[in-house]
Amino acid sequence: MLLAVAAAALIGCERAPARAPAPGAAPTSTAPSFATSTATSTATPPATATSTDPSIAASSAPVAPPVRPPPLPGGTLIRSAFAVEVDQRLPLAPGGEVVVDPAARFEVELSARAPDARLVLVDVREDLVSATGTRELGEGTRLTLVPAAPLTPGSRYALRLDGAADRELHDEAGRAFGPVTLPILAAGIPPPPEPKKPARKKKRR
């Protein structure tokens, strides 16, 4: 009798209806939930190769141009300088003006071989005077200059020693020498200035 009652009670429990959800309640899901994760990656910049080799660092540094030494005084290169006239040779010097014959020619000797040395003659306006020059190389250097026409009496000039390609001249060892100026004055009375031409008067119409 007791076994029959217990079996009936068990059957009643299995047949009990499911409870309906309350009105307005959100439906519940019985589906299994899975955890999700998002993979993130951070790009790492490539490493810069550095070198500690001093020779490589020195080669990449800017190279400064070589510093040229200042030129030596050109006067130390002059062995002799003369204005050659018909009956005499007048010594020339950088420090003082020498009165010379307007038909004089000029000679300068240097104590070293200077392949680019030259003589020029300029007037007070620094214009070149037409002349013929020579250069002879031996144990030293011998320079000559002959003006194409007599100098203007009473006018000042400068006999200049410098370089043919540059303002400075150089010896065979490559040493630079500054230019040298030998002032001269052409003897005689300056010619009278040319008379000015009268200005043309405008014609009245």
pLDDT tens string, the chain, 205 residues long: the values are 444 444 444 444 444 444 544 444 444 444 444 344 444 444 555 555 555 555 555 556 677 777 878 999 999 999 999 999 999 999 999 989 999 999 999 999 999 999 999 999 999 999 999 999 999 999 999 999 999 999 999 999 999 999 998 899 999 999 999 999 999 999 999 888 877 777 676 666 6
What pLDDT was estimated at residue 30?
44
Fold of 74-186: Immunoglobulin-like (2.60.40)
Q: Which residues contact residue 181 at a Cβ distance below 8 angstroms, ignoring those fewer than 6 apart? A: 94, 158, 159, 160, 161
Contact predicate 121/159, CB 8 Å: yes
Cβ count within 10 A of residue 135: 16
Bridge partner list, 72: 177
State residue 39's pLDDT score. 45
Q: Is the CA virtual torsion 49, 50, 51, 52 positive or negative?
A: negative
CB burial string 34-47: b at 16+ within 10 A, e below: eeeeeeeeeeeeee
Contact between 187 and 150 (Cβ < 8 Å): no
Bridge partners (DSSP) listed for residue 80: 109
- pLDDT tens, 52-89? 555 555 556 677 777 878 999 999 999 999 999 999 99
Per-residue model confidence (pLDDT) at position 200? 72
174 dihedral zone (left: phi>0; alpha: psi -120 to 50; beta): left
Instruction: State the sign of the Cα–Cα–Cα–Cα dihedral 13, 17, 23, 24.
Output: positive
Residue 52 is predicted with a pLDDT of: 58
User: Of the candidates 95, 119, 93, which has an alpha carbon nearest to the alpha carbon of residue 106?
Assistant: 119
Per-domain residue ranges of the chain: 74-186
Cα–Cα distance between 81 and 24 in angstroms, integer?
A: 127
pLDDT score of 81: 97
CA 34 to chain CA centroid, Å, is 75
* H helices present in 70-184, as ranges: none
Sign of CA dihedral 160, 164, 165, 171: negative
pLDDT (tens digit per residue) in 128-137: 999 999 999 9
Q: What is the pTM of this model?
A: 0.63
